[in-house]
Homo-oligomer: A and B are copies of this chain.
Amino acid sequence: MKAQLTEYIRKTINVTEAELSIILSYFKPLEVEKNELLLVYGQTSQRTFFVGNGCLRIFFITEEGHEATRYLAFENNFATAISSFISNEPSSEFIQASEPTTLLYISHEDFYHLLEIIPLWEKFYRNYLEKAYIHNTNRLMSFLTLDATERYKQLLEIQPNIVQRLPKKIVATYLNISQETLSRLKSKC
Q: Which residues of A contact B (CB under 8 A)?
A: 60, 62-63, 68, 70, 82-83, 86-87, 92, 115, 119, 122-123, 125-126, 129-130, 132-134, 136-141, 143-146, 150, 176
Contacts and interface: CB of A to CB of B under 8 A. Distances in A.
Contacts of A143: 140, 143-144
A138 B129 CA distance: 15
A121 B174 CA distance: 36
A134 B62 contact: no
A144 B64 CA distance: 11
A130 B126 CA distance: 9
Closest 6 CB pairs of A and B: A122-B122, A129-B129, A62-B145, A68-B144, A140-B140, A86-B130
Contacts of A62: 144-145
A122 B138 CA distance: 24
A87 B134 CA distance: 9
B134 A133 contact: no
Nearest to A84: B134
A119 B62 CA distance: 41
A144 B63 CA distance: 10
